[in-house]
Amino acid sequence: MKLLFVDCCVSQRGADSRTKRLAEAFLEAWQAARPDAEVETVGQEVLLALRPFTPDALNERDALAAAGRFDAPVFRLARQFREAEEIVVAAPFWDLSFPAALRLYIEYISANGLCYHYDNSGCHGDCRARRLVYLTSGGDVEREDSVGVLYWRQLAAMFGISRFDYVFAAGLDALPDQAPALLDAAQELVRRLAEETV
């Protein structure tokens, strides 16, 4: 089994990133439950190096897709995403969603004809993953309409991933006296999710 970890834990806290702590708790528990499984990581060095698509770049990518040239380098991240059996995306709650680097990653993996396709009945996902887990943390309290959570829930459906889970460690700055307990509770929740068989 292969899990893809998309590490967008961009933080001024560096190694003390609260979102990264959630991700580490998940990955440790996931690997402990599956010692022979593989974790493949898309790190921040990859995400932060992505460039926005220009109209010319989009035309070139569309031409490659029309020719079935999904082995082209522009589709590398999409191929990796499509083949993963489980996916974990971790990113802080920034400006009501997530860092821009993650939005660019979404553009690269949203490859029509590879990760999803259209026919007369609509959009159909083509990814292998059975579950996508979105991990985030933020200073404000969680709201039902959190854009990051809603966005990844809809993306999972578009990609054909039947199960979506998320953990939002929220209120870490709004409730500073409770922050350690809130983060501990969120880490315990991600450990339980990681141990589940999908």
Going by pLDDT thresholds of 50, 70 and 90, the confidence category of residue 190 is: very high
CATH homologous superfamily of 2-195: Flavodoxin domain (3.40.50.360)
What is the model's pLDDT at position 15?
76
Question: pLDDT tens across 3-61, in order?
Answer: 999 999 998 777 789 999 999 999 999 999 999 999 999 999 999 999 999 999 999 99
Question: pLDDT tens across 112-154, in order?
Answer: 999 999 999 999 999 999 999 999 999 988 877 788 999 999 9
* Residue 189, pLDDT above cutoff 80: yes
Nearest to 26, CA basis, from 195, 198, 197: 195
- Which three-class secondary structure state does DSSP give residue 74? helix
Domain regions of the chain by residue span: 2-195
